[in-house]
Amino acid sequence: MENTDTIAALATPSGESAIALIRVTGALCEKIAMEAFTLAKSPAPRHASYGSYRDLSGEILDDVVYILFRGPKSYTGEDVLEVSCHGNPLIATRLLEDLLARGCRQSDPGEFTRRAFLNGRMDLTQAEAVMELIQARSDRAIRVANKQLRGNFGRQLDELKMRLLATVATIEAYIDFPDEDLPPEQKKAEIEAIRSVLAFCGRIIDSGKYAAFLRDGVKTLILGEPNAGKSSLLNCLLGFERAIVSDEPGTTRDFIRERIMLDGYCIQVMDTAGLREAANGIEQQGIRKTVELTEEADLFLLVIDGTLPAPTLPEEVSRQITADNCILVQNKADLGALQPLPSPLDGLRRVTMSALSGTGLESLKSAAVEMIDAHLAQDQDDLILVNARHSAALKELSECLESAIRNFEAGEPAEFVASELRGAVEAIGRVLGRIDNEDMLDVLFSSFCIGK
């Protein structure tokens, strides 16, 4: 794909704002800057300048701040012109229309980042991290996306590739000499080298299970019998009255979903219908939905009325709950002595609180964060936001490495082992985007914002 067009787009959200930013990239940037601002010479690169933007008829559209970035030291690797005007949508629209009249083309979604990738300014994992950063819903997701944007994931994959290429070179050195085989100690060393790459690949794949915590938020399900205080707990966590609280059992018929932030994590809190033998069909549907939600939840808050005997949970719910994913909330501690817990519940982490007064809320928040941290405890500094495309390529990489080890240990010819390792190297190339696959790039960048 040749980047011959100069493209332009509004890079800030539409609507009124203090400032609107219009971004241009391509060969016409310098010419546009000199003509629109009536300059005698090209503006100094990477310096913010103040000027009056004039359209092709000479009319001043707005007083703006503009910056010219010279390629290849720019976001796209081409000349880039950024114009910051007042955030009136009419002004931004007129500026953009004038740029199109001067020979620019309206950019496609993600086209700026696509050009950055095609011009070698970033690998594909970094390009994807741009969208991860924009869509991050928590402080921790922002930190991980920033590391990925700076090439952390790409560097790790490059290291894997170099290690595999070194092993391939050693093995292929023996292919031209069929009467010779790798010395036993050399063969053992190469197998261990492949195993170490496979183990590292496995850790990356495993981190993808927890990437959803950072990308989508920790799905936290509030469970319990009617009148245990589930809706009161939701309101207490949110800090405002979101759910209706009533002494009448069965008030919550459908689940309520809200987001809160806990110590940098985004938490999706879901208040559900109380678990009981329902008195009517509508409430029964709500209970069925609660049971369905238990299959997708990451964390459970099991709320019980601490002054009453503990309930017996439905089998479909109890089998989803473990000591690693559930916090038992003994509610209504302000109403008197708490009842002892039966053995199935006694093994759960317990927090005593009053959802009505808020007593014990901080202890519950701390317990939730500690439980989430425990899930992420493997390598929090090396967490990677693995997406579906990465997962598919990494799975193929693992399969190639496992096959190479089997062939090695079975004494198969060196050609078979080298072929599998070359397949593993190609899988890494697909993650980094170092292949010619125009259709894949079209799909990937179509999800980006226009102007990015």
Q: Residue 23: beta bridge partners?
A: 9, 82
Any known ligand binding at 170? no
Any known ligand binding at 334? yes
Alpha-carbon distance 181 to 185, whole Å? 11
Alpha-carbon distance 431 to 448, whole Å? 18
Any known ligand binding at 249? yes
Nearest C-alpha neighbor of 301 from the set 340, 277, 251, 267: 267
Any known ligand binding at 146? no
Give the other-Cβ count within 10 Å of 423's Cβ.
16
326-362: b or e for each residue (b if 16 or more CB lie within 10 Å)? bbbbbbbbeeeebeebeeebeebebbbbbbbeeebbe
What residues have CB less than 8 Å from 391, skipping those under 6 apart?
A: 205, 208
Any known ligand binding at 12? no
Alpha-carbon distance 251 to 244, whole Å? 7
Any known ligand binding at 395? no
Any known ligand binding at 246? yes
Any known ligand binding at 332? yes
Any known ligand binding at 252? yes
Alpha-carbon distance 419 to 183, whole Å? 20
Query: Look-up: residue for tokens 């009136």?
Result: 88
Q: Kindly state the tokens that stand for 21.
A: 């930013």
Any known ligand binding at 248? yes
Any known ligand binding at 439? no
**What is the distance of C-alpha 79 from the center of its chain?**
30
Any known ligand binding at 77? no
Any known ligand binding at 82? yes
- Helix (H) / strand (E) element for 10: namely strand 7-10
Any known ligand binding at 451? no
Q: Residue 66: beta bridge partners?
A: 49, 83
Any known ligand binding at 73? no
Alpha-carbon distance 82 to 105, whole Å? 15
Any known ligand binding at 224? no
Any known ligand binding at 84? no
Alpha-carbon distance 282 to 225, whole Å? 16
Sequence ranges of the binding site for (6S)-5-formyl-5,6,7,8-tetrahydrofolate:
23, 82, 121, 452
Sequence ranges of the binding site for Mg(2+):
231, 252
Sequence ranges of the binding site:
23, 82, 121, 227-232, 246-252, 271-274, 331-334, 452
Sequence ranges of the binding site for GTP:
227-232, 246-252, 271-274, 331-334
